[in-house]
């Protein structure tokens, strides 16, 4: 019989700790599928910092390193530079990690065009620590620390990471995707695979931002959370490619 479905080898066969409806599991699978398809499991090293992804080392069968909160790009830089020909390095970070305490590491790794792959999970809230307002929380969004909704006059506006990094000369590739439908999941996988292939080809810093849900801290059912992505997240965080140096060079020829 033909095999039509199987677990990726790069994904461990154990239950995940994520809440029902959380999209981390989908993103984990996409990363694992890409690692399998590119044949790089034996040379891949993942960096998991603090956040809901803190235990990602349990779920991927490649080598994993735990990083201090926000410091994954710095750790990834050291690991990649230590043996650039034989290491494929990716970070897996949430928005509270990457866009807050780790913003400096993110910006400077991108500015240096470090040859690493960054998977950025943006669910607009601090998930692991109880649902506090994150740098990416939307205007008016209710969180544990903004019970009346985020007020830009008090807290400033959300940070659009892809748009911000696209203004730098350094990055090779920046794309924003989501995983709230089958069609969007397929597009997300394509983007993640391109980000890893860029590193294999030595092109430099690639970041894929995945607009994601957090049903528990949003106070919604999983179904409602997926719809909330369409109705609220995507209008503020438009999907698409924000920088692709190779494509731009080809178009200029």
21: tokens are 């409806």
In tens digits, the chain (253 residues) has pLDDT values of 787 878 999 999 999 999 999 999 999 999 999 999 999 999 999 999 998 888 999 999 999 999 999 999 999 999 999 999 999 999 999 999 999 999 999 999 999 999 999 999 999 999 888 889 999 999 999 999 999 999 999 999 999 999 999 999 999 999 999 999 999 999 999 999 999 999 999 999 999 999 999 999 999 999 999 999 999 999 999 999 999 999 888 888 7
One CATH from 2.60.40.420, 3.40.50.970, 3.40.50.10890, 1.20.272.10 for 24-245: 3.40.50.970
User: In this structure, what are the phi and psi dihedrals at residue 209, rounded to the nearest 5 degrees?
Assistant: -90, 125
Instruction: Please give the span between the terminal C-alpha atoms of the chain, in angstroms, as a whole number.
Output: 48
211: tokens are 């607009």
How many residues can be counted in the chain?
253
Round to whole Å and give the CA distance between 102 and 169: 20
Round to whole Å and give the CA distance between 197 and 181: 24
Round to whole Å and give the CA distance between 136 and 198: 27
CA 178 to the chain's CA centroid? 10
For 85-103, the DSSP string reads TT-EEEEEEEHHIIIIITH
Round to whole Å and give the CA distance between 200 and 87: 9
pLDDT at 249: 86
CA 45 to the chain's CA centroid? 16
Structural domain boundaries in the chain: 24-245
Closest CA to 24 of 65, 54, 62: 54
Residue 117, beta-bridge partner list: 90, 206
Residue with tokens 């960054």: 118
pLDDT at 250: 84
Whether residue 22 contacts residue 213, with contact meaning beta carbons closer than 8 Å, is answered with yes
pLDDT at 9: 95
Q: Is the sign of the CA dihedral 127, 133, 134, 138 positive or negative?
A: positive
CA distances 43 to 38, 78, 206, Å, are 11, 15, 18
**pLDDT tens for residues 26-67?**
999 999 999 999 999 999 999 999 988 889 999 999 999 999
pLDDT at 174: 98
pLDDT at 58: 95
Q: Residues with Cβ < 8 Å from 141, sequence gap 6 or more?
A: 124, 125, 133, 149, 150
Q: Look up the pTM and report it.
A: 0.96
């Amino acid at each position: 019989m033909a095999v039509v479905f199987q677990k990726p080898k790069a994904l461990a066969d154990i239950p995940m700790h994520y809440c029902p409806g959380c999209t981390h599991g989908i993103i984990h699978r996409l990363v694992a599928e890409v690692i399998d398809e590119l044949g790089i499991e034996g040379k891949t090293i993942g960096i998991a910092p603090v956040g809901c992804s803190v235990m990602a080392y349990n779920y991927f069968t490649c080598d994993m390193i735990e990083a201090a909160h926000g410091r994954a790009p710095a750790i990834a830089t050291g690991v990649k530079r230590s043996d650039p020909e034989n290491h494929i390095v990716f970070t897996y970070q949430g928005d509270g990690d990457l866009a807050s305490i780790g913003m400096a590491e993110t910006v400077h790794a991108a500015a240096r065009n470090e040859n690493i792959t960054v998977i950025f999970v943006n669910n607009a809230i601090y998930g692991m620590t109880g649902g506090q307002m994150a740098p990416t929380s939307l205007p008016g969004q209710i969180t544990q620390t903004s019970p009346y909704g985020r007020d830009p006059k008090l807290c400033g506006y959300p940070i659009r990471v892809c748009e911000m990094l696209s203004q730098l000369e350094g990055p090779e590739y920046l794309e924003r995707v989501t995983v709230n439908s089958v069609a969007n999941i397929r597009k997300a996988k394509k983007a993640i695979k391109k980000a890893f292939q860029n590193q294999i080809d030595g092109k430099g810093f690639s970041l894929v931002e995945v607009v994601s849900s957090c049903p528990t801290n949003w106070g919604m059912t999983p179904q409602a959370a997926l719809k909330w992505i369409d109705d609220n997240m995507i209008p503020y965080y438009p999907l698409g490619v924000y920088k692709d140096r190779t494509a731009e060079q080809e178009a200029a020829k």
